[in-house]
Amino acid sequence: MEPHLSVVVPMYDEAEVLPVLVSRLRGVLDSVPGLDGSYEVVAVDDGSRDATPVLLQRYRREWPQLRVLRLRTNAGHQAAISAGLTAARGDWVVTLDADLQDPPEVLAEMLAVAEDRGVDVVYGVRTDRSTDSLFKRQTARAFYAVMRAAGARDLPSGAGDYRLMSRATVNAVNALPETHRVLRLVVPSLGFPSATVGYRREERAAGRSKYPLARMVRLSVDALTGFSLAPLRLATWFGVGGFVAAVLLFGYALVAKWQGHAVAGWTSTVTIVAAVGGVQLLCLGILGEYVGRIYAALQGRPTYYVAYDSLTSSPGQDDAPARAATPPEAAPPAADAPDGPRTTARH
């Protein structure tokens, strides 16, 4: 029988926070009214290099609803979420980060709101971000402002990747052909009926952030170029503005020549050339981003590879990830190793 609720948790090198996550998340899910254990937790190991695979296998033996999905290599946060959405079987699917900055205790309220109001999506909205740094709060505000200006009118302010989706929504997302999709923009763009639930964003429970500034910038660029044509239109308007400026300067030069005045000197010339050159390079960069996305789509390469799924793997394969990650001094006696899990490629 398929579970009523699936919780997708992408994780990368989260061994420090994993015990706290399992304790809190299991307590919440076991106490959700009417759920009665009809749930699964899809832990997507995004190619972790620490003890995360070992701990996941250990907790899976103690927690029947825990399902481990391991990717062959580190594919990135959004790709890991996509892998979890493809594997999830529940009537409702929640995506939740492993760092516990988005509290799992809100999950029961999100499910209740979805069922009471008959909506397809419930967004977790960060109404209190006082635990974040001033820089992160300001950059987040700027991101949402830019995306709305670019056309993302339905994007809830303060909503990240903590959301509850119906099976119809998940099927629609999985059917999209995009490769480098940013789900916090893709899901609102579907236009399905939605609601919001506010919460206070907490500090990271343990470990360190896996999203440095460079990844945040990359995510913003992917979000903008993958969702909107506004940057291309901006480049067009730059070109129109440059053409108008060139016509005006040409007219000024002709008038100055007829009146016998000397044309402005080298300073103005160099300034104009530098400005035009800068705009041209910016426009080429914008075009390059879109051409790169087209090239990646035409290649058709999978965004992630599933190396192991505890739901479909045979019993002999069950312990393979744990043995592979166990330190030599703690390893069990040598035995014939089973064949490795089969790799599955996903777009």
pLDDT, tens digit, 9 for 90 and up, residues 319-340: 444 433 333 333 333 334 344 4
Average pLDDT over residues 292-301: 67
CA-based nearest residue to 50, from 234, 321, 273, 308:
321
Q: 84 versus 319: which is more confidently predicted? A: 84
Q: How confident is the model at residue 40 (pLDDT cuts 50, 70, 90)?
A: very high
* Distance separating alpha carbons of residues 27 and 229, to the nearest angstrom: 44
pTM over 0.85: no
pLDDT higher than threshold 80 for residue 71: yes
- Min mean pLDDT across 82-96, 152-166, 278-292, 312-326 is at 312-326
How does pLDDT run across 139-178, given as a tens digit for each residue? Answer: 667 666 666 666 666 777 778 889 999 999 999 999 988 7
pLDDT higher than threshold 60 for residue 229: yes
